Amino acid sequence: MTETMQAVVCHGPRDYRLEEIPVPVPGPGEALVRVEAVGICASDLKCYGGAVKFWGDENRAAYAETGVVPGHEFVGEIVQIDAEGAARWGVGVGDRVVSEQIVPCWRCRYCRRGQYHLCKPHDIYGFKRRTPGAMAQYMIYPADALVHKAPKGLPPAHAAFAEPLACSLHAVERAGITFDDVVVVAGCGPIGLGMIAGARAKHPAHVVALDLAPEKLALARDCGADIAIDIRDQDAQAIIADLTDGYGADVYLEGTGHPSAVPQGLNLLRKLGTYVEYGVFGSEVSVDWTIIGDDKELDVRGAHLGPHCWPAAIRMLESGALPMDRICTHQLPLSDFQKGLDLVASGTESVKVSLLPS
């Protein structure tokens, strides 16, 4: 193995550079992994654009650090691991593995209570110097990481989709969907499509997809939506009211990160309905809270990361339940990272964009 590798390094908003850096050296209980694929997601794009909070901004809580290799949804092959790490994770050299996007501290109150996805230090790959990400030829899985084997039969970009799919499934779990529910999913990007597939697996009465792009709505149908509404040309509120005898949807899952999707959801829900927010917003969003309280007494729930959902996500990918060839639209070499970011930013030419460092 060479002593250096290519990696994308974040130097600040809109300043990502392809550099030659040392190959990391694993410590006790850690694994050195050759990265096969790394997805680019909306939060990566918001970090690149400066909407994610950086250290050094005195007016905002810090979230991202400079000098870090980005990339938090990935798959790779173990090339070096000691006996301690192999025993802990049940893996060995040559195994294909994914790692959950957060590396918990296992000491804070959240970790001690099994809520590791809300770990207080919150070291997510690709955002903190302690946990460099996967836009590189090699990366380290720290000893505290959560690691899962991934099927070798899946194309690398498909296997890396375990991360967004686990996030989608966690949002579905937060919704508490029942058999009689009418479930509305806002957004048919990677997160929304995973929500649709996860909601369909709960066997509700209807899964309704909302989007602006006809091609993404067609993809939503193949993921399990039985109703697909183009909100540019169709009146979603009238369609859902007609579907529910005028009451409104039981569950609304927000996966766009667009401010307009928030009041849309509050208005589409029936009284005592459930709103689940997963989207990452680039700015603050204001709504009429009277709708939530006095008007409808809604349950409003957040969803963050994909805790305890990774094995289910891997099984779903392995089952072929999702049209992954059509979801994973672009795979690019690491040197084309800027093209990848631009594709995600355009929002119209791609669904899931991945880089293939190896």
From-to residues of CATH 3.40.50.720 in the chain: 168-302
Rounded to an integer, what is the distance from CA 340 to the centroid of its chain? 16
Tell me what pLDDT residue 56 has.
45
pLDDT (tens digit per residue) in 141-166? 999 999 999 999 999 999 999 999 99
pLDDT (tens digit per residue) in 52-111? 555 444 444 456 888 999 999 999 999 999 999 999 999 999 999 999 999 999 999 999
Q: Rounded distance, CA 219 to CA 223, Å? A: 6
User: For the residues of 296-307, what is the DSSP string, one character each?
Assistant: T--EEEE--S-T
Residues 127, 72 contacting (CB under 8 angstroms): yes
Half-sphere exposure of 230 (CA within 13 A, CB side): 10
pLDDT (tens digit per residue) in 246-295? 999 999 999 999 999 999 999 999 999 999 999 988 788 999 999 999 99
- Kindly state the helix (H) or strand (E) to which residue 101 belongs, with its residue range: none
From-to residues of CATH 3.90.180.10 in the chain: 4-150+323-356
Tokens of 314: 């891997």
SS3 state of residue 221: helix
pLDDT (tens digit per residue) in 57-74? 444 445 688 899 999 999
Q: Does domain 168-302 have CATH number 3.40.50.720?
A: yes
Q: Does domain 4-150+323-356 have CATH number 3.90.180.10?
A: yes
- Neighbouring C-beta atoms of residue 284, cutoff 10 Å: 6
Question: Considering Cα of 257, then 267, then 118, then 61, what sign does the dihedral take?
Answer: positive
Task: Report the phi/psi class of residue 8: left, alpha or beta, with left for phi > 0 and alpha for psi in -120 to 50.
Answer: beta
Nearest Cα neighbor of 81 from 33, 34, 31 is 31
Tokens of 63: 């979230």
